Structure 1
Amino acid sequence: MAKNNGRSKAASFFSDGFFFVGGGLVAFLLVWALWSFFALSPSPTPTPTPSFSTSSFSAAVPESCDGGGGGVSGPNLRYDPPEKNFYDDPKLSYTIDTPPVKNWDEKRREWLKQHPSFAAGADRRILLVTGSQPTPCKNPIGDYLLLKLFKNKVDYCRRHGIDIFYNNVLLHPKMFSFWAKTPTVKAAMLAHPEAEWIWWVDSDAAFTDMDFELPLDKYNHHNMIIHGWPHLIYEKQSWTSINAGVFLIRNSQWAMDFMDTWARMGPQSPEYDKWGEIQKSTFKDKIFPESDDQSGLVYLLLKDKDKWGDKIYLESGYYFEGYWMEIVGNFENITERYKQVEAAEGRLRRRHAEKVSEGYVPVWEEHLKEAGYGRGSWRRPFITHFTGCQPCSGDHNQMYSGQTCFDAMQKALIFADNQVLRSYGYVHPDLLDPSTVLPLPFDYPAS
């Protein structure tokens, strides 16, 4: 979610090996960003801006899997059998600070047996969760930007058959800013037992490769995926060794336990001040005293690796989320390289329905083998994360201007929108002009 706390998650700032270059400048910027948040919080109840055991189920699908719905193809959204399940338990609570959910893997498994039309593909089903604050943005263009960023996520989800939940209320009034994600994710797990994965994506992050799909097979033995670097956690012990603004978590008992443990470090907890002291003493590069979600997650990785760390995959092989300042300047070059591929490959120039776009990804991959991933690659970056821009509050990092952030967001969003509009026969000719589109001629770009 867009955050008005000013916290800049510096893990996004750097690629591996670049992390400690210019450390003094970075430390200054982090102090400025964090001081702006804590200094500008006028009261103990601010109007916040949320930041926004493997349990695969391979139950056999019966020959008639319409779930009593009369031959419905795919999940039957109208069938809910009368037999009781975990939803009928009066002790079940969706809130983060209540007795923990127990036996969640078994409860999910039983629910899927009761709803057999959802069994097919259950082990790869994803729910994307994002959101924003309940009140209008302070920044005059903030709501416009959040709308565009939400549209971007809807476009990606539509193209890949992913459900999306947009939350714009605080599910726990004390869990403001970056802590707002934890009660939201827990509630999403309970509301969607059919989903194997819950995918949290901050509101200030944009999908900039509409074709790329999460390599779920790579994560078969893990329950959480997050962008980070192991040596910065275990050797340098830096709170900026990961970015907690985008993560994928398996809908499992492990996740329920993890979210409860993580949330105990939050501002609703009587141990909040204590955890701030622990985090500050553990991470020498953490200057501000308050407990934050990112430091809390790194702490759990560092101090309880057997229980948590071994099930968390630190992804740095591609832009699971990438810092916008090292990405946005490459969009024009990437666009030209992709046009060159299309000009030489007739299969990619063929017009087709948007619904079958995934079928063209293998053809693209034939030509992207040498492109690489991440910093220096001419492959489209998967997710571009505008950490530090604060589009809703406008309290951007003083390292750059608000106009720089706005122009960069426009470029990223139009870059992504061109990938979507291609299926509709149009393109934006200018990455800084969101209102102008041109119709594409037949056989473009060869014609």
Structure 2
Amino acid sequence: MITDSVSLLSKFKEVRLQSERICKPLKTEDYVVQPIVDVSPPKWHLGHTTWFFETFILVPFLKDYSLFNPDYGYLFNSYYETVGARVIRTDRGNITRPGVQEVLAYRAYVDEHMEMFLSGEVENEVNDLLELGLQHEQQHQELLIYDIKYILGNNPLFPAYQNQIEKTDTAARPLGWLNIEEGTYKIGFDKQGFSFDNEHGVHQVFLHEYAVADRLTTNGEYLEFMEDGGYSNFKHWLSDAWEWVKTNEIKAPEHWHFQDGKWHQYNLSGGLQAVNLDAPVTHISFYEADAFAKWKGLRLPTEFEWEVACLQYGSLDHAKGFSDNGLYQPQSAVNDNQFYGEVWEWTASAYRPYPYYEAPEGAVGEYNGKFMVNQMVLRGGSCATPKDHIRATYRNFFHPHLRWMFSGLRLAKHL
């Protein structure tokens, strides 16, 4: 936890600047598009993350603070019922005004007041809210990258977000296995530093002996599933999943396109390119990850199995597949087991509270707890995640049909 005012201010400035760096390559028109309900316009992200600091820190704690615009709470509140009314999620693309420059002016106004506020002594209560706000903005930076990729990747011309960046791809090494002994293991966050409330409630779980793959599943391996009729054989699919495949005519991961006799994939760096068979498969739903595992005669790990394996075999220090490298696309395994970064890994676990979980009081109590239903847990971070934002206990969660995010899989098996 950051406590001194100089470090607080420095961290605040850097996180806020990064959101605008991510948006810098965009054209003005890109800021407003909302092609599907899951994608929020980039302009909305910039406004919402600013509203968070204004609403939860400046309004209650900075004396005589005046709102930049009283209507912005209605525009940029996401889902906080405690705070008040808001534009429904499906209508965020209709917010053509305020314009981009007005939203940037809003950010500058709030930042100026936040920097003035943080120059003085900050109480522990505010420190906790500030840390949550920074972590919240980093989450939205990742969502920004997902959303920008979906917006540009569904443009008929497949425009590149940025020029081709030199990558470090190598051939995928043969798949190996990491064995975990039977036993009782501690799950959850109990260290110093920040964590979200859904990581709390440290408890013991008993695990039978098992093994997880020593790397992520690759595009090449997933293509074998496709070429073997994976999307046309109901035997691999859960009932809900099979209905999803048929209704939506799913035949490949998101952003894959079959052209000139071969599969291509849209990437933020370089646009539409031939699929790199050695890179981790990404933009797949839980349904697809589960079907692939069944086709292989294997399974997905539970989130507890994943956490234990990560703590034994993962290395955050050696991981490079985060947003920090600016590639925004996963790379093949070299000397790393790929537990951290590259792609979020679907697990076989439903998103539910840990034992002893208690949602915080007030509006921040809506941050995680009310979403603990009908979703599946993912672990590990992705190539769109800031490296200092991830840890072994971090629990991400999405509905099982979603795949616009950087999501992939790691195989597991009983021993």
TM range (shorter): under 0.3
TM-score by length of 1: 0.23
TM-score by length of 2: 0.24
